[in-house]
Amino acid sequence: MRKIGRMLKMHRIFVAQELKRMMEYKGDFIIGIVGFLLCQVSNLLLIWVIFSQIPTLMGWSAAEVVFVYGFSLIPKGLDHLLFDNLWAIGHYIVRKGEFDKYLTRPVNTLFHVMVEKFQIEAFGELIVGVALISATVPQLNVEWSFWRVALGLLIIPFAALIYTGIKTTTASVAFWSKRSGNIIYMFYMVNDFAKYPITIYNRVVRDIITYFIPFALTAYYPAVFILRGENPIFCIGAPVLAAAVLMSLGVIVWHRGIRAYESAGS
């Protein structure tokens, strides 16, 4: 417990320092938020155009599709908010030899990297996600219950850890290749498929985003349980299992990568 308390205290210190840094560049923050909102508006406009022509999409109503879209932004936003610095490992920290500083400090290296940056613009994803869910709930024909809501909320941090686990594993490749930003991007961008019901895709795509790069477990399957109460064992259990497996894999690859790390000039 003492160790956990120390880590939380350190996290607060890192967050405070990062917020001070970000306030020096308010323009970058505002531009980032505006760009994100424009991207979401364009995606929602696409959904509106589709449903202006058809009443349902593979059995999903417009409100249900928007609910899935909104739900997908919340775990992604949490990962973006708290652990986005892993991108830097893949892009330049290892390549430039800057990882040395993490090795010289009496802090777990993975924890240090994760909490060093605090991406405040991720609040845009969280706010839009909550807003879309709130807007669609009155339009949904759902029999709400305590357990349905509680399990829906409980699954969010596990869904976020699926993002983090995938990002940790792919970022760790940089310890061998010196740079893995393209690998992170290749895997991470698959999450765009998870913003919509996966029944609209062919079987190959569905299997990939369910079992291999399981972003469908971050939004679609939890939404199936929340909206329709179907298959709770898989829809809730699979994301928990996937989060545990992917985070464990990420930690293993990370620590093996550290043993292979060569500083700048090696």
Model confidence pLDDT, tens digit, residues 229-244: 888 999 999 999 999 9
Chain-centroid distance, C-alpha 42? 20
| Residue 266: predicted pLDDT | 47
pLDDT of 91 reads 86
pLDDT at site 29: 62
* Three state DSSP letters for 115-184: HHCCCHHHHHHHHHHHHHHHHHHHHCCCCCCHHHHHHHHHHHHHHHHHHHHHHHHHHHCHHHHCCCHHHH
0.75 exceeded by pTM: yes
What pLDDT does 33 receive? 67
Counting as low any pLDDT under 70, the low residues of the chain are: 1-33, 36, 264-266
Convert the pLDDT of each residue in 47-80 to its tens digit. Answer: 777 777 777 777 888 899 999 999 999 999 999 9
Burial 46-85 (b: 16+ CB within 10 A, else e): ebeeebeeeeebeebbbbbbbbbbbbbbbbbbbbbbbbbb
d(CA 253, CA 255): 6
